[in-house]
Amino acid sequence: MFRYTIILLLFLITISCYKEKKPDTHFLQTYPIKKVVVDSLKHPWSMAFITEDEVLISEKDGALLKVNLSSKQKTIIKGFPKDLTDSIRVQYRGDNSGIFEVLLDPDFKNNQQLYISYAAKQEGEGSTTKVIRAQLQNDSLQNIKTLIEAAPYTKEYFHYGGGMTFGKDGKLYVTVGERLFKEIDEPELPIAQDITDTRGKIYRINADGSIPKDNPDFGSTAVQGLYAVGIRAAQGITVHPKTGSIWFTEHGTKQGDEVNILQSGANYGWPIITTGGYRSRDYVPPNIEGAVFTNPTWYWRHTVAPTGLVFYTGNEFPEWKNDLLITGLSRGSFWRFRIENDTIKSTEELFINSRVRSRKVVQSPKGKLYMLTDEDNGKVIRIQPNKLKQ
């Protein structure tokens, strides 16, 4: 009996361990596939998770919606500010105006605060980028407060920016685009280089709109809340989950699309220097004495139009852990950057056989991946692993 028990146990050791020792080959061949979760959205721009299933979606050309990703039920959030641009959107091809980012307060569960960026209009003056804070109560925006209003209102409909994220420091970071389409229209001191102009900048503010005391000092004439300057058109901004560094995407003119790491007080150089070309061959940028420019962390040599980005911390794609995922509007770009600390090690373009104009990639609280498509029939698409046998 004793001997048989030992033999049995040795056998159990063998089989129980054998199973674990087989190489997990199907895992190694994991490749992402797409599955449409929600459709009939009007150019969705961003998505914020209230719970794993319940989200807020901002439609660039529509409304702020509450959507249940399981039941597919959509509810229009009431009380959106009346100064949201509207009619101009049908007049201009390539118009960038509308609703941009919707972002929950880190303590949303307790305070129901959320932050919305959008293109606000002023009768006869044009439009500009605005950031509000509001409370979400009974599917309605309450206690709305304006945090940023990037005056002046102008008649161009491009490059509002509108990207927002909370840093690990609890501060709210906001991108505001330069609003021009052609650099030939720049004033003598280009907009993004002018610290008295609100546009072409990244802001760092407290959640109540006040200005943190440890913001960089751009001098007494600078607009309030400036954190970095010289930025043409940044939409996507996100935080590295480990290092806490803040990364943002930027659109170039002719190529010149970039990925940057945000640094306090930095000047990213637009339009004085660019990794791309200028739209106008005649444009000669001015020399700005004493200016020190920060290089991009990455630039593409072809057009990607990079937008929403996120560091992946989910478990479905273990080999993507802490990698940076970036979507682009051009050619349905979807990129994965392998990052080691704050260094890009490689860049991978995914979904090259199922391209769709993509606005943003977002991650759920439990680590599920979704992307938003910038289409008339806009979609929320779940990106999930397809375990291939090979």
Choose the stretch contacting a copy of itself; rule: CB under 8 A; options: 91-99, 109-117, 284-292, 348-356.
348-356
From 347, 356, 364, 375, residue interacting with a copy of itself (rule: CB under 8 A): 347
Instruction: Report which secondary-structure segment, H or E, holds 10.
Output: helix 2-21
Residue 6 binding a copy of itself, by CB under 8 A:
yes
Dihedral of CA atoms 251, 380, 149, 200 in degrees, nearest 10, equals -10
Q: Which residue has the tokens 């546009």?
A: 199
Distance CA 333, CA 327 (A): 5
Residue 346 binding a copy of itself, by CB under 8 A:
yes
Distance CA 280, CA 289 (A): 24
Residue 20 CB contacts under 8 Å (≥ 6 apart), including other chains? none
DSSP string, 206-267: -TTSPPPTTS----TTSPTTEEEE--S----EEE-TTT--EEEEE--SBS--EEEE--TT-B
On whether the CB atoms of residues 290 and 211 are closer than 8 A, the answer is no
Find the shortest distance in angstroms from Cβ 149 to a copy of itself: 39
Based on CB atoms, which residue is closest to a copy of itself, 149 or 349? 349
Residue 241 binding a copy of itself, by CB under 8 A:
no
Give the number of other Cβ atoms within 10 Å of residue 234's Cβ: 30
In the window 8-67, what residues touch a copy of itself (CB under 8 A)? 9-10, 12-13, 16-17, 20-21, 23, 25, 28-29, 31
Distance CA 99, CA 42 (A): 11
Residue 342 binding a copy of itself, by CB under 8 A:
no
Find the shortest distance in angstroms from Cβ 352 to a copy of itself: 6
From 35, 72, 155, 301, residue interacting with a copy of itself (rule: CB under 8 A): 301
From 218, 268, 299, 351, residue interacting with a copy of itself (rule: CB under 8 A): 351
Residue 284 binding a copy of itself, by CB under 8 A:
no
Based on CB atoms, which residue is closest to a copy of itself, 47 or 324? 324
Two tokens, residue 122: 């002023």
On whether the CB atoms of residues 192 and 230 are closer than 8 A, the answer is yes
Choose the stretch contacting a copy of itself; rule: CB under 8 A; options: 168-176, 221-229, 246-254, 335-343.
335-343
Based on CB atoms, which residue is closest to a copy of itself, 118 or 351? 351
From 241, 244, 286, 318, residue interacting with a copy of itself (rule: CB under 8 A): 318
Based on CB atoms, which residue is closest to a copy of itself, 6 or 36? 6
Residue 295 binding a copy of itself, by CB under 8 A:
no
- One-letter amino acid for residue 280 of the chain: S
From 39, 86, 214, 319, residue interacting with a copy of itself (rule: CB under 8 A): 319
Q: Which residue has the tokens 């640094």?
A: 263
Based on CB atoms, which residue is closest to a copy of itself, 45 or 299? 299
Based on CB atoms, which residue is closest to a copy of itself, 263 or 322? 322
According to DSSP, residue 306 is labeled E
Find the shortest distance in angstroms from Cβ 258 to a copy of itself: 14
Residue 353 binding a copy of itself, by CB under 8 A:
yes
Find the shortest distance in angstroms from Cβ 202 to a copy of itself: 25
Residue 344 binding a copy of itself, by CB under 8 A:
yes
If we measure between CA atoms, which residue out of 306, 219, 216, 213 comes closest to residue 262? Answer: 216
Based on CB atoms, which residue is closest to a copy of itself, 36 or 352? 352
b/e code 173-206 from CB counts within 10 Å (16+ = b): bbbbbbbbbebeebeeebbbbbbebbbbbbbbbe
In the window 77-106, what residues touch a copy of itself (CB under 8 A)? none
Residue 343 binding a copy of itself, by CB under 8 A:
yes
From 66, 89, 279, 321, residue interacting with a copy of itself (rule: CB under 8 A): 321
Distance CA 202, CA 219 (A): 16
If we measure between CA atoms, which residue out of 80, 83, 162 comes closest to residue 125? Answer: 83
Distance CA 251, CA 333 (A): 13
**Binding residues for a copy of itself, total number by CB under 8 A:** 39
According to DSSP, residue 330 is labeled G
Which residues bind to a copy of itself, rule: CB under 8 A?
A: 1-2, 5-6, 9-10, 12-13, 16-17, 20-21, 23, 25, 28-29, 31, 301-302, 318-319, 321-322, 336, 338, 340, 343-353, 388, 390
